[in-house]
Amino acid sequence: MNRLLSLALSFFLFSMLSAQTASEKTMTLQQAINAALQNNYSVISAQNTLESNKAGVMASYGRFMPAVSASVGWDGRDMSYPVGSVNSKSASAGVGANVTLFDGLSNTAGLSKSRVAVGASEQDLFRARQLMVLQTQQSYLQVLRNRSLLAVAQENLKQSMRQLDRIVESNKVGAVAIADVYRQQATTARDELAVIQAQSAFDNSKADLLYLLALDVTQDYDFADEWITSEIGKLEAPDASQQNADVNAMMDEALQARPDYQSVLLRKSNAESDITIARSGHMPSLSANAGYSMGNTTFSNISDVKTWSYGLSLSIPIFNGFQTSTRVQSAELALDNAQLIVDQTRRQVQKDLKKAVLDRDAARKKVDVSKKGVVSSLEDRKTAEERYSLGAGTLLDLLVANSNYVSAVNDKVNAEYDYLLAQQQLKFAIGKDKY
């Protein structure tokens, strides 16, 4: 009966796997990253902000250029008086230009500010893409982690079912008590539940990844990547070791590379430009203008009367109700706040990097410990199996040994993926990679 159940379950799993394979699409980690960078809202929003700031640079250049306008007009008047009426008509056309020659360096500071805004938005875009890559890596590795844990649960279920078959046969010949049969049946049922739970976690993690990538969550994908297999293979190597990096050198590298830190530096520069713009209100402004116009009673002879005009205009601020002084004070306070943000971001970069290094080192140690745990728990399970087969041990001892082995294997899987995630988190903390 149990053998038939085992065969039926195996056939069911094989059929499901075959059906999924036929409809699944294969997606690598790099393909997932490409999809995320193309589809994710935060990345697209940062790109749009960059394009908007680029348009602001063009507007800043426009402040150095003359404003040119043209006009054409016609009007007529009919006026009635007690002694008669008067009709008058006029036609006009003209073109004029006005250019600011000096405005207290406000236009120069405005151009610098718009350029810096483009640089800051570029850094924001870099960081948004880095964060999106990290989130994709985390979600992708979670899928592979859950798939590995599902494989462990499935293998444990097979082992449990084989053990149940042996105990049932032994009970038939009176070698073991019926209590052992019931106990193993209960254990097998729990192992089946573990498979169901692991399968659910695997499916949910796939849905989470597809949602992150803005893809159809109803589609089936197979996730695999040679890079991940290679990295795990390196962890399996007996001589694998993590070299200790110079944290101070990494700190310097992070401060030079981190887009979010470079962005706040640029925004501090913008705050300095705001002070220049505010102070320009205390300085005179000089502009030049020129114009050419024609006018007459009709359009047919409009060119008979021509007028050229030109001139300079100097405006000297004397008093405006302390508005300029208030703007200068606000700009200086904004600069102080910008400096505080720079200092805070620097400390954040240092903390992120220190934490990432510590997490990576701890994760590497967990890998080594988990490997030893698998080896020792496997030997313990073998001993328990031999003792139970010889009648020198109890089924409870064997179940405990098997449970310890399964937990050790799960710990090893989790430790390996935790280490891979820690590596990616460290790269993100440094912020050197541009995507």
When divided into structural domains, the chain yields a total of 1
Q: Are strands 221-223 and 84-102 parallel, antiparallel or unpaired?
A: unpaired
Q: Answer whether 0.85 is exceeded by the pTM.
A: no
Tell me how far apart the alpha carbons of residues 225 and 88 are, in angstroms, rounded to a whole number.
86
Contact predicate 126/258, CB 8 Å:
no
Bridge partners (DSSP) of residue 323 are none
Closest CA to 168 of 183, 189, 154, 153: 183
138 is a domain residue: yes
**What is the pLDDT, as a whole number, of residue 84?**
67
Contact predicate 44/240, CB 8 Å:
no
80 is a domain residue: no
Evaluate if residue 431 carries a pLDDT over 90: yes
Tell me how far apart the alpha carbons of residues 354 and 247 are, in angstroms, rounded to a whole number.
7
Tell me how far apart the alpha carbons of residues 383 and 42 are, in angstroms, rounded to a whole number.
55
How is 178-238 classified by DSSP, letter by letter?
A: HHHHHHHHHHHHHHHHHHHHHHHHHHHHHHHHHHHTT--TTS-EEE--HHHHHHHHHHHST
44 is a domain residue: yes
**Distant-in-sequence, close-in-space partners of 214: CB < 8 Å, separation ≥ 6:** 35, 36, 39, 40, 41
110 is a domain residue: yes
CATH of the domain at 49: 1.20.1600.10
Tell me how far apart the alpha carbons of residues 254 and 261 are, in angstroms, rounded to a whole number.
9
| Rounded (10°) CA dihedral 370, 376, 378, 381 | -130
Q: pLDDT tens across 226-269, in order?
A: 777 777 777 655 444 444 557 888 999 999 999 999 999 999 99
- Which amino acid would we find at residue 133? V
Task: Give the residue-averaged pLDDT of 163-170.
Answer: 89
386: domain range?
27-65+105-283+322-430
Mean pLDDT of the chain: 86
Q: pLDDT tens across 1-40, in order?
A: 444 445 444 544 445 444 444 456 888 999 999 999 999 8
406 is a domain residue: yes
310 is a domain residue: no
291 is a domain residue: no
252 is a domain residue: yes
Q: pLDDT tens across 89-125, in order?
A: 788 888 989 988 888 888 888 889 899 999 999 999 9
What whole-number percentage of the chain has pLDDT above 90? 52
Tell me how far apart the alpha carbons of residues 325 and 347 are, in angstroms, rounded to a whole number.
34
Number of H helices, E strands in the chain: 10, 6
